[in-house]
Chains A and B, each alone.
Chain A
Amino acid sequence: MATALAGVAPPRDDEFAEASVHVAALRRLARDPAAIVGGVIVAIVAVCAIFAPLITRVDPNAQDLTATLTPPMWIAGGNHAHVLGTDNLGRDLLTRIIWGSRVSAIVGLSVVAIGGAIGVTAGLLAGYRRGWVDAVIARITDVQLAFPLVLLAVAIVAVVGPGLWTVIAAIGLTSWVQYVRVVRAETMSLREREFVAAAVAAGASSPRILARHLLPNVMSAVIVLGTFEIARAIVFESSLSFLGLGVPPTTPSWGGMLADGRQYLDTAWWTALFPGLAIMIAVMGVNLLGDGLRDALDPEMRQ
């Protein structure tokens, strides 16, 4: 085996080179202040999502009808019990924002898992097999791209019925196209490279070539794209919840909170300001991290 591949590259050197590439990328990431800020924000959101019940002992659905629309504590009428104030049912906004991070995190990660799995598989197949496989996938991609995505997701949710998993499926089914385009283009250039020819010559099967030789080489691009797709999914979910087509109102979500707060815009601005800030900061963190990852993993794209 080793002698058969000697002309290409000894496997040990390959692994060594791969490891040092990743170490170098991490070093570049750690030197990028914007990416560090993004990483810290993402870490805070993750901690909120995982440890929500430990961070706040208040039930996010606990209503206090004697303290509805209480302003934030630094404004006249506010108090320390409700740091960011309460909503129209007297529920504590800060508690609900902390709990709301769960929906955003679950949706963001699940959508990337679904969209990424479909998109990367389709992209690898289209780029490696070419021919009719490529043609069929290209046609399906064209249809998907011609669809107004928000309307597609809204229609799916409206027919199937709202709920966390419907929302995840609807957004996931709109996100795979991005991966196809990127992965297909990368695969098409990779398949002409010598290491693929070597693998074919060594008798590797197509699935093995796709999984062991091509997939690792497109992962950098997929990770970068996936990061931005997490950001898009968080905004998308909040938009669906805002339209009343997201998670049920008993599950605290940032978009659902905004839908409630919208009605009190002229009397209780805090109900519409803080959940939106939470979305913006979380998405900004993911975007900054994505920018940093792209620069670190793909030095050629650096400005």
Chain B
Amino acid sequence: MLTYLARRALGAVWALIGVTSVVFIILHLTGDPTSVMMPPEATKAEMDAFRHAQGFDRPLIVQFGTFALAAAHGDLGLSLRHQEPAMGLALERLPATAVLGGSAFLIVLLVGVPAGILSALKPRTWIDYTARGVALIGQSAPTYWIGLMLILLFAVRLGWAPASGIGDWHNVVLPAATLGFFSTAKLMRLTRAAMLEILGADYMRTARAKGLTALRVSLGHGLRNAWLPIVTQLGVELGGLLSGAIITETVFAWPGVGRLAVQAVFERDFPVVEAVVLIAATLFVLLNLAVDLLYAVIDPRIRYA
């Protein structure tokens, strides 16, 4: 177990180093980033001063060394727009994204999984067809369009919920539903497939034969054995929610990390982009590790050696 943990931790560190390097490479993709970062009307003297201040006139390998060393300490430099530490700016926005992502994840868990179970228990009924129809829409429609349509229906037409901004729980409903729609659809389909597979198993027939109630059979014996693929996918989807938040937050003007990232990209504020990427990658790597460890809890047959 300890060896396994050590190996995984090493892998995580490697992934983060890789991600940081890729960000550095992208930033230098067009050579000297000065022209990208400075406004087009800047004079040559201003450009040179900026180039020197940022260290872009030094050899690339030296620049990378300095950058990597500072990044390892969580220091990605000052935001070019706000003259504040970029990492601090990004971390400040994290709670808002956590609220949005958490709410979306609750929807995935409380709607997607039960809908999948119901649809597997009652195949070829209206419940099954409705759930599968909604799932098909959820897997096909772009997230931001679902968001626009929810705004059109519930904010513009019915006036039930505000279209943008942050405040009490009313504000969370539409963005969370938007963000969670795709994952809910995916989880529903996966849960349905996993349950259908288990329902035909011999031990399920045995459980029914010994007179257990339908609920005990389907949840206690069925879901218990279908959990593994479902939890795997939940982990993947939670990671995907981080990515999806970038677009959802832009549609709903939600002041989270994703919106900050898009603004930073447009303002060419690269230290902030780097900070967001690094935070997202760290969360993603930790999440995957947590899911792997959860396996051992769910399925005692899995032992990490």
A binds B: yes
Taking beta carbons and an 8 Å cutoff, which residues of A are in contact with B? Answer: 139-140, 142-143, 145-152, 154-156, 158-160, 231, 235, 238-239, 242-245, 255, 258, 261-262, 265-266, 269, 272-273, 276, 279-281, 283-284, 287-288, 303
Q: Closest A residue to B147 by CB, please name it.
A: A262
Q: Closest B residue to A235 by CB, please name it.
A: B142
Top 9 closest pairs, chain A to chain B, by CB: A143-B18, A276-B145, A284-B140, A283-B140, A280-B141, A146-B15, A158-B265, A148-B243, A148-B280
Interface residue? B285 (CB, 8 A): yes
Q: How many residues of B contact A (CB 8 A)?
A: 50
CB contacts (< 8 Å) of A152 on chain B: these are 22, 26, 277
In the complex, what's the smallest C-beta–C-beta distance from B183 to chain A, in angstroms? 14
Report the Cα distance A156→B36, complex, angstroms.
12
Query: Does the CB pair B141–A266 fall under 8 Å?
Result: no
Interface residue? B193 (CB, 8 A): yes
In the complex, what's the smallest C-beta–C-beta distance from B2 to chain A, in angstroms? 21
Interface residue? B177 (CB, 8 A): no
Return 14 A-B CB contacts under 8 Å, by A number: A146-B15, A150-B243, A150-B246, A152-B277, A155-B277, A158-B266, A160-B29, A242-B142, A243-B247, A272-B145, A279-B140, A279-B145, A280-B145, A284-B140
Query: Does the CB pair A243–B262 fall under 8 Å?
Result: yes
Interface residue? B108 (CB, 8 A): no
Interface residue? B151 (CB, 8 A): yes
Query: Does the CB pair A139–B27 fall under 8 Å?
Result: no
Query: Does the CB pair B15–A148 fall under 8 Å?
Result: no
Query: With contacts A154-B262, A155-B26, A156-B26 known, is A146 near B142, CB below 8 A?
Result: no
Interface residue? B64 (CB, 8 A): no
Report the Cα distance A73→B298, complex, angstroms.
57
Interface residue? B11 (CB, 8 A): yes
Query: Does the CB pair B22–A147 fall under 8 Å?
Result: yes
Interface residue? B276 (CB, 8 A): yes
Query: Does the CB pair A265–B148 fall under 8 Å?
Result: yes
Produce 1/0 per residue, B6-23, CB < 8 A to A.
Answer: 000001001110110011
Report the Cα distance A173→B7, complex, angstroms.
28
Query: With contacts A147-B19, A147-B22, A154-B261 known, is A269 near B142, CB below 8 A?
Result: no
CB contacts (< 8 Å) of B144 on chain A: these are 239, 242, 258
Produce 1/0 per residue, B139-163, CB < 8 A to A.
Answer: 1111111001101100010000000
Of B152, B196, B265, which is within 8 A of A303 by CB?
Answer: B196
Query: Does the CB pair A148–B281 fall under 8 Å?
Result: yes
Query: Does the CB pair B141–A279 fall under 8 Å?
Result: yes
In the complex, what's the smallest C-beta–C-beta distance from A107 to chain B, in angstroms? 13
Report the Cα distance A258→B151, complex, angstroms.
14
Report the Cα distance A303→B120, complex, angstroms.
11
Interface residue? B227 (CB, 8 A): no
In the complex, what's the smallest C-beta–C-beta distance from B232 to chain A, in angstroms? 13
Query: With contacts A148-B243, A265-B156 known, is A272 near B148, CB below 8 A?
Result: yes
Interface residue? B63 (CB, 8 A): no
CB contacts (< 8 Å) of A272 on chain B: these are 145, 148-149, 152
Query: Does the CB pair B247–A287 fall under 8 Å?
Result: no
Report the Cα distance A288→B168, complex, angstroms.
39
Query: Does the CB pair B148–A276 fall under 8 Å?
Result: yes
Query: Does the CB pair A258–B145 fall under 8 Å?
Result: yes
Report the Cα distance A160→B30, complex, angstroms.
7
Interface residue? B188 (CB, 8 A): no
Query: Does the CB pair B29–A242 fall under 8 Å?
Result: no
Interface residue? B238 (CB, 8 A): no
Query: Does the CB pair A155–B273 fall under 8 Å?
Result: yes
CB contacts (< 8 Å) of A245 on chain B: these are 265
Query: With contacts A142-B14, A146-B281 known, is A273 near B149, CB below 8 A?
Result: yes
Q: Closest A residue to B251 by CB, please name it.
A: A262
Of B137, B262, B266, B277, which is within 8 A of A147 by CB?
Answer: B277
Other A-B pairs beyond A148-B277, A150-B247, 14, CB < 8 Å? A146-B15, A148-B242, A151-B246, A151-B273, A151-B277, A158-B268, A159-B36, A239-B143, A245-B265, A262-B148, A276-B141, A279-B145, A280-B142, A288-B136
Query: Does the CB pair B280–A151 fall under 8 Å?
Result: yes
Query: Does the CB pair B29–A159 fall under 8 Å?
Result: yes
CB contacts (< 8 Å) of A265 on chain B: these are 148, 151-152, 156
Report the Cα distance A272→B163, complex, angstroms.
15
CB contacts (< 8 Å) of B19 on chain A: these are 143, 146-147
Report the Cα distance A298→B18, complex, angstroms.
36
CB contacts (< 8 Å) of A288 on chain B: these are 136
Report the Cα distance A287→B246, complex, angstroms.
24
